[in-house]
Amino acid sequence: MTVQGLRTVTSAQNGAGAFILQCKRLDLHYNLQGASSHGLRTFVQTLLPKFARQYPQIEFRVSPTPKKHPVVRGHYINGREKPICVRNMQPNEILKKVILLKEASGEKNRRQSKPVRSLNESVRGIWSPYHGDLRGV
Amino acid sequence: MKRLQLQRWSNSVLSTRARTGSHLQHHLYNAVRRQSSTAAAVQPEFSTGEAEHETFEEIKLKTILRRTHSRPNQLKYPSPPTHAAHESAKLAALHARLYLPSRLPYETLARTLVDASADQDPNFNNESLSTLGHDLLTYYTSEHLICTYPRLPLSVIFASMYAYVGPKTLTAMTREWGVEHASSPGGEVDPGLLQFQRLAPGTELQEKEDGPRPYQSQPHWRKTVTSKIFYDNEFGDTAKTAAEGVSADQASATFVRAVMSAIYLHAGRPAAKRFFQQHFLSRHLNMAELFNFEQPTRDLTRLCARENFERPVAKVIAETGRKSRHPVFVVGIFSGQDKLGEGQGASLSEARERAAVAALKGWYLYSPLNVRLPSAMEEDEAAPWKPVHVDLGEVIV
């Protein structure tokens, strides 16, 4: 055999073709009686239906958890989850947190030093000391 | 070429989801649904006697409903019943996440998630869908590869097919689509989960006994590339199966193929092609990394002889530190006046080999501009077909 084919797997470039929202599930846990859950209870009744209609790709789970502060928890495609405690928050503040969870990728927060990351090789190539003219000092 | 009337023959693939023996249950369920909803709407207008009658009937209906939905009843079936598809939030979310066409119903999407190892009944599992999806995927991928890179060696075509639509890639795609696996299949499972009977740990997959390849009892005999085209699958592999259950990889691959064919059947060919381009071709693959040459210099010589080029000669273009610990040589391979390739290395032979590899890759990875694929002819009012460039193929040494 003159040439062998090496087996690899193509890597995903989310958004290059189809875009898949990375947040797949949002869990909203509230306390039925607690005062700290008042905001989330109002949010579920007023703002959540419109938000859920806007993002059908997210599965919403609403469930009471007795004797606990309210929590909104996002589940992501990479398997991680992101919980945010929303005690004593107003519905509008909670909406901001829910939007934050919706837009997150699920990765840990990292400092991005380069403006662009790419899988493609540099078009201009890597600089080589053996090519081109010699320059005098 | 005229557009195929898919709906006529696709009936056999998407046959009605009627379970034998479940007609009664289906009828009961439908009747219950209608009656209960009317009762709820009309109830306030009724007099007390009639209302009492209604409530009595409602109680009766509720018991019937509870019985139909009770766990033992659901446990009767190996996969979730059809009506469960509309109640699953996971399934609706998956449908929306993939931007699937609205003509693709939830019931079919639910069916694509049921593997043949979970439900034996071909009317309820995704086997028939995945067969069609497999053919579509291999057709679209192979025409893309062969037309865009007409000079690829066959072993590299096998490898790139594996990279684009191989089981590993399809498994990764299933994960990236956010599809979760059910721990065990059954009628009570959420239809939005991938259902399959898991392979017992440590089970080894066996080659099929009644495969098409002759002399299968001689596993150590050499398998030529030509015989792989003839007898094996699109990746040059022999099909392997286990007695019971499938691996998660196999089940995921079957699911993705089934989704592809479900789009093809319900939304038509343009939608299926768009889905293929957006989800499969948009993935990143560096074709130059798939080559592994054994003797590149020998191959290049044979190639030049075949193409009537001048015999390739390696020449040193630049060098530094020949007698030092870290020498670097830049070697170019020339055929007459033309430089075919260039490479650099710590020794002359290494640099020459790299130059030969670069020259061979330059030849094999030739890609014509403005390629038109054969499947473009299936469109309405397609321009007349002009033959694409087809190469002789790889060098035979």
pLDDT at B11 over 60: no
Candidates B93, B158, B293; nearest CB to A24? B93
Q: What is the mean pLDDT of residues B312-324?
A: 93
CB contact under 8 A, A11 and B284: yes
* Share of residues in chain B with pLDDT > 70 (%): 82
Note whether B56 and B75 are within 8 A (CB).
no
Higher pLDDT, A83 or B388: A83
CB contact under 8 A, A77 and B178: yes
Q: What is the largest CA-CA distance in chain B?
A: 110
Closest CA relative to residue A56, chosen from A86, A26, A14, A80: A26
Beta bridge partners of B320: B328
A118: tokens are: 């790419």
The residue segments making up the domain with residue A97 are: 30-103
Side-chain half-sphere CA neighbours of B207 within 13 A: 14
Closest-CA residue of chain B to A75:
B178
Q: What is the mean pLDDT of residues A42-48?
A: 96
Residues in CB range of A33: below 8 A, 6 or more apart:
none
Same domain, B207 and B119: yes
d(CA B306, CA B225): 21
Q: How many domains does chain B have?
A: 3
pLDDT at B126 over 90: yes
3-state secondary structure of B317: strand
Interface of B with A in 289-318 (CB under 8 A): 289-295, 299, 317-318
Does any domain span residue B326?
Answer: yes
Residue A34's pLDDT is what?
92
Does any domain span residue A123?
Answer: no
| In the block, residue with structure tokens 């931007």 | B99
d(CA A58, CA A22): 9
Note whether B380 and B163 are within 8 A (CB).
no
Q: Which of B288, B310, B344 is the last residue of a domain?
A: B288
Higher pLDDT, B353 or B74: B353
Residue B86's pLDDT is what?
92
d(CA B178, CA B252): 12
| In the block, residue with structure tokens 């899988």 | A119
pLDDT at B5 over 60: no
Q: Which of B12, B40, B75 is the last residue of a domain?
A: B75
The residue segments making up the domain with residue B32 are: 20-75
* Share of residues in chain A with pLDDT > 90 (%): 80
d(CA B125, CA B336): 62
pLDDT at B38 over 90: no
Q: What is the mean pLDDT of residues B159-168?
A: 96
Residues in CB range of B125: below 8 A, 6 or more apart:
B79, B111, B114, B115, B116, B118, B119
Tens digits of per-residue pLDDT, A107-122?
999 998 999 888 888 8
Residue type, position B233, single letter? N
Provide the mean pLDDT of chain A: 92
d(CA B77, CA B309): 68
Residues in CB range of B365: below 8 A, 6 or more apart:
B149, B151, B152, B287, B288
Residue B65's pLDDT is what?
64
Same domain, B189 and B209: yes
CB contact under 8 A, A9 and B172: yes
Task: Go through chain B and tell me how many residues it has.
Answer: 397
Same domain, B55 and B162: no
Residue B141's pLDDT is what?
97
Q: Is B363 on the interface with A (CB under 8 A)?
A: no
A77: tokens are: 């495609």
C-alpha dist (Å) from residue B334 to A1, A6, B235, B385 = 25, 28, 35, 38
State the virtual CA torsion across B49, B52, B58, B61 in degrees, nearest 10.
Answer: -80
C-alpha dist (Å) from residue B332 to B93, B273, B305, B319 = 56, 43, 18, 12
Tens digits of per-residue pLDDT, B190-231?
999 999 999 888 888 777 777 778 777 777 888 888 888 888
Burial B188-203 (b: 16+ CB within 10 A, else e): bbbbbbbbbbbbeeee
Q: Is B229 on the interface with A (CB under 8 A)?
A: no
pLDDT at B317 over 60: yes
Q: Is B271 on the interface with A (CB under 8 A)?
A: no
Interface of B with A in 42-61 (CB under 8 A): none
Same domain, B38 and B123: no
Q: What is the mean pLDDT of residues B39-64?
A: 50
Residues in CB range of B11: below 8 A, 6 or more apart:
none
Does any domain span residue B389?
Answer: no
Does any domain span residue A108?
Answer: no
DSSP one-letter string for A7-39: P--PBP-TTTSS---SEEEEEEEE-SS-GGGHH
Residue B23's pLDDT is what?
37
B259: tokens are: 């989704």
Residue B50's pLDDT is what?
43
Q: What is the mean pLDDT of residues A61-69?
A: 94
Does any domain span residue B169?
Answer: yes
Residue B33's pLDDT is what?
36
Does any domain span residue A127?
Answer: no
Output DSSP code: residue B85: G
Higher pLDDT, B31 or A34: A34
Question: Residue B165 is inside which H or E element, if any?
Answer: helix B154-165
Between chain A and chain B, how many beta carbons pairs sit less than 8 Å apart? 131
Residue B237's pLDDT is what?
83
Which CATH number characterizes residue A90's domain?
A: 3.40.30.10
Residues in CB range of B145: below 8 A, 6 or more apart:
B152, B157, B160, B161, B164
pLDDT at A18 over 60: yes
Q: What is the mean pLDDT of residues B66-73?
A: 62
Residue B146's pLDDT is what?
93
| In the block, residue with structure tokens 């709906």 | B7
Residue type, position B314, single letter? A
Residue B228's pLDDT is what?
84
Beta bridge partners of A121: none
Q: ipTM > 0.90?
A: yes
Which of A76-80, A83-87, B40-44, B304-308 shows the lowest per-residue confidence on average (mean pLDDT)? B40-44
Residue B54's pLDDT is what?
52
Same domain, B257 and B124: yes
| In the block, residue with structure tokens 């690899």 | A8
Q: Which of B288, B317, B345 is the last residue of a domain?
A: B288
Residue B49's pLDDT is what?
42
Note whether B246 and B120 are within 8 A (CB).
no
Does any domain span residue B344?
Answer: yes
Residue A134's pLDDT is what?
65
Using 50, 70 and 90 to split pLDDT, how confident is the model at B26?
Answer: very low
pTM value is 0.83
Candidates B153, B157, B328; nearest CB to A130? B328
Does any domain span residue A25?
Answer: no
Candidates A6, A61, A130; nearest CB to B290? A6
pLDDT at B45 over 80: no
B108: tokens are: 């079919």
Residue type, position B334, single letter? F
Residue B55's pLDDT is what?
59
User: From chain A, which residues contact B within 8 Å (Cβ)?
Assistant: 1-14, 16-18, 20-21, 24-25, 56-61, 77, 119-121, 128, 130-131
Same domain, B44 and B111: no
Does any domain span residue A124?
Answer: no
Using 50, 70 and 90 to split pLDDT, how confident is the model at B48?
Answer: very low
Neighbours of B352 (CB within 10 A): 23
Q: Are strands A59-64 and A3-5 parallel, antiparallel or unpaired?
A: unpaired
Closest CA relative to residue B235, chosen from B165, B169, B147: B165
Q: How many domains does chain A have?
A: 1
CB contact under 8 A, B169 and A3: no
Closest CA relative to residue B273, chosen from B196, B185, B376, B164: B376
Tens digits of per-residue pLDDT, B231-262?
888 888 887 777 788 999 999 999 999 999 99
Beta bridge partners of B284: A11
CB contact under 8 A, B166 and A9: yes
A3 contacts in B (CB within 8 Å)?
153, 155-156, 291-294, 299, 360, 364, 394
